[in-house]
Amino acid sequence: MASNTMAGLVAGSHDRNEMHVLHGEQRPPTRQSVAKLCRVCGDEIGVREDGELFVACHECGFPVCKPCYEYERSEGNQSCPQCNTRYKRHKGCARVTGDDEGSLDGDDFNDEFQIKNTRDQQNVFAPSENGDYNPQQWHPNRPAFSAAGSVAGKDFEGEKDMYNNDEWKDRVEKWKTRQEKKGLVSKDGGNDPGDDDEFLLAEARQPLWRKVPIPSSKISPYRIVIILRLVILAFFFRFRILTPAYDAFPLWLISVICEIWFAFSWILDQFPKWQPTNRETYLERLSMRFEREGEPNRLSPVDVFVSTVDPLKEPPIITANTVLSILALDYSVEKVSCYVSDDGASMLLFDSLAETAEFARRWVPFCKKHTIEPRAPEFYFCQKIDYLKDKVDPSFVKERRAMKREYEEFKVRINALVAKAQKKPEEGWTMQDGTPWPGNNNRDHPGMIQVYLGSEGALDVEGKELPRLVYVSREKRPGYQHHKKAGAMNALVRVSAVLTNAPFMLNLDCDHYINNSKAVREAMCFLMDPQLGKKLCYVQFPQRFDGIDRHDRYANRNVVFFDINMKGLDGIQGPVYVGTGCVFNRQALYGYDPPVSEKRPKMTCDCWPSWCSCCCGGSRKSKSKKKVHRGFLGGLYSKKKKMMGKNYSRKGSGPVFDLEEIEEGLEGYDELEKSSLMSQKNFEKRFGQSPVFITSTLMEDGGLPEGTNSTALIKEAIHVISCGYEEKTEWGKEIGWIYGSVTEDILTGFKMHCRGWKSVYCVPKRAAFKGSAPINLSDRLHQVLRWALGSVEIFLSRHCPLWYGYGGKLKWLERLAYINTIVYPFTSIPLLAYCTIPAVCLLTGKFIIPTLTNFASIWFMALFLSIIVTGVLELRWSGVSIQDWWRNEQFWVIGGVSAHLFAVFQGLLKVLFGVDTNFTVTSKAADDAEFGELYLFKWTTLLIPPTTLIILNMVGVVAGVSDAINNGYASWGPLFGKLFFAFWVIVHLYPFLKGLMGRQNRTPTIVVLWSILLASIFSLVWVRIDPFLPKQTGPVLKQCGVEC
């Protein structure tokens, strides 16, 4: 990956023709090679003994190298992955079962049981000669090709270095035994030193990932119960609708409407979980395939994006830990670049990154030397574990203590910067050289770029290169729409495309550090897969959190969503994008469609005459002509892609342009290419007025054009982050992060899936990323309010999944899932009504259900039983604990009657009437103890509806029990149904009640709750008994009502 590093801050505005460069030098990019590659393993295909290119299948010519061809014949389905034609035996290849006797002459019999080591001297991962990549059509009734992600059979689990000599010899012997059974090696071959290399070569050809099917004993009962629950719901609603409660008709009608909506919401949530999927990756195979010893590292480069706005609300020490964990990734340093977006133009963050870059010179080599996890120092040093476990290096203890002291000093320096930033000078901030800080006015400032570290930056303490770190603050001017986080992310996409142009991008929030240093490698197992990778728009990781109380009172971990819903979506078209912890394919963000699989060619018969074959199917000769013609065009255009309904051509990934030769993105093409491109929509109208950026979009495998220089690239980077760059372009509409909602993540992923892209859900054994979450009630509700408001905005926009994208390639179950993500806030209205009905019934003495017959009660029991069994079976296949499931159910009610309700009305006011409503939060002091923030009470308007519901239902319970005591034994029967619904509401709102009451001098909330209920009931009973009134003796005299 080419590098462009400078040592000073560059600030400027393209519109004002301003550019200020303090100091810095640049380095030209490197070249990339292009080779004919195998579509299975990525190796060079090689040539035959006669010097001709090796061709495995003479029917379709699908590019497969000889080792993969032999491996497929011996252990696979013996067929070509493109046309499913059985492979014919080539000269020098071993005979396998099913070969025709006359398929080859017998002159190579002596060589039949020999295996040659076909490892190439040098392999470069690049597209094929014509740059095409065509994912293939698989035969539905055959097993997957041996390079696909779901290959059955024994899978090797490590490299030679991971085992001692005896274990390694045992593994190789077992492998040779299997080869002998298949006739691929001779039994008297002895111990050949080349066996190890052949074993590793076979290992590298294995798939990089596979699906782990959920046992049918777990998933089949789950599906059966779902169908049974649908049937039970049908009979339940038949009874409810045909037997109204005439004495409480309004209550009955409201309850039936609410129950129908709940059933609809359940269907939207349930059926996308019909086919949950688990996946596992093989990192050692990735390393053996792309990081072979003595060869160039062929792993794809990655640009990492970190976004932040206000360092006073998002502490710089947290952002610094995130950046340090990125710089210490277990990945080739020249292939990692970290871009930090400062959307608040804060000098505090600028200075903090400078300190972070200096500390990284010592922290990164320490992490890599001792392979520690996690590589964020704040969270590594606070671990309550035995840090000496598995550490045999005697110097580790000494170095760890020294590093911890240096980190404490680093924190002191960061905290000093924070303290200094609390009070801004009247004249504004000044940099160390006396220059005024360009971002003193955070709403009116030029774009700023500062590159730290990298190939020409400071080396680490061991003299090794560090990954590049880039500070970016986009230009802001009054009168322009900046689109908050989505706009900042799009600016990072353009800056990174100009400076590094890695084909993949990792997006992280500033408080989400990398907990697993191999996280990027996990994603590469999917994105660099020869078959699946080109169809993937992103790989999404689950969100995991630190600092949450043990009981997770407000369901901050969101385990049900990440471990049940997302795995269900992974079995359809892929998980939704959740805003962080996601590795993107850059081409998918540019609005391109995924590669279209070629249709399987029709089978022809050579027995027909030539004149008949022209009418009945075409001859091979004509096919070959078409193929030559397509290859010629393929030499001109790397691939035909569709972009928003139009065909777009993109050049190959090799060096194409010199920067000086690019004019309007089209110079350097010949006349045929130029006329083809000009006949399509102008690239500048979509991507903006930057020829460098437009060129980068045509380079599918990343890299920078040949002949670029750093000064021009920096100037162009300032240009692409100017505030007016996106005007009259497709940015935010069809390209990049999509504008129009505060939850831009849902919109962005939805647009990609509509174009036909797939996504993958990756759940490593060690959590890839960890972040922080608000643990007190008010902050949690405001977080949920923002998410729900974004869903309402999408519902009221043109991108609503109910009516958008029906001409695309979005699968129906995936559409149901997206509909559920934008409809769920509206459930708050029926939920609020349904939670009020029990209290009204208890206070009025009426009920929504008439007297039940024995037959009708069966449907009620069956419905409750099916709900319970569905939940139990869901927990069984997902592995989620019942506590996490119950917390999720409780917070669904708490959020539904508070944040979701306000989001609906706020969204309607904002979209329909242009009224933007904000809810203020006031706080009181919290305890200094662990999880003290959990007991922090902040009054907000969101607390009013659930508080009202709790009071209403508690009063209803007291009134209902008192009335039953007053009216005698006969009134207790109808009371139990009402009490059941009232207690259902109170139990679900119980965590809210605990948060409302705070610590209460450590008195358990449940004790306070029962004390109030029992005291109220006994008080009313006491009044009913009337112990202080004299008892009358004798007959009771009453007026008879008859005039005597």
Catalytic positions, written as ranges = 343, 745
What is the rounded CA–CA span in Å between residue 168 and residue 166? 5
Cis geometry, peptide bond prior to residue 374 (ω within 30 degrees of 0): yes
Sorted by sequence, the CB contacts under 8 Å of residue 733 that are 6+ apart come out as: 739
CA-wise closest residue to 504 among 749, 304, 745, 762: 304
Token representation of residue 971: 């009134």
If one counts every other C-beta atom within 10 angstroms of the C-beta of residue 221, the result is 15
DSSP state of 1038: -
CB-based contacts of 513: which residues, under 8 Å, 6+ apart? 321, 322, 325, 374, 376, 379, 769, 770, 771
Residues in the chain, overall count: 1044
Euclidean distance between CA atoms 488 and 300, whole angstroms: 24
What element of type H or E holds 447? strand 447-453
Q: Are 802 and 820 in contact (CB under 8 A)?
A: no
Strand bridging mode 468-473 / 18-21: unpaired
DSSP string over 479-540 = T----HHHHHHHHHHHHHHHHT--SEEEEEETT-EES-TTHHHHHHHHHT-TTTGGGEEEEE
The single residue listed with the structure tokens 């970290």 is 338
Burial class from Cβ neighbours inside 10 Å (0-12, 13-18, 19+) for residue 8 reads middle
Intra-chain end-to-end CA distance of the chain, in Å: 113
Q: Which of 219, 225, 866 is nearest to 564 (CA)?
A: 219
- The Cβ-side half-sphere exposure at 939, using a 13 Å CA radius, reads 2
Contacts 24+ apart (CB under 8 A), 108-117: 113/183, 113/184, 113/185, 113/186, 114/186, 115/70, 115/179, 115/184, 115/185, 115/198, 117/194, 117/197, 117/198, 117/201
Retrieve residue 611's tokens.
């004149």
The CA-based angle 886-888-892, given to 5 degrees, is 120
The helix (run of H) or strand (run of E) holding residue 412 is helix 396-421
Collapsing DSSP to helix, strand or coil, 640 comes out as: strand
Instruction: Check if the beta carbon of residue 39 is closer than 8 Å to that of residue 63.
Output: yes
**Looking at residue 145, what DSSP letter applies?**
P
Q: How far apart are CA 180 and CA 195, in angstroms?
A: 13
Residues 32, 6 contacting (CB under 8 angstroms)? no
Short-list 384, 393, 316, 380, CA closest to 350: 316
Rounded to 5°, angle at Cα 443 from 442 and 446 = 75
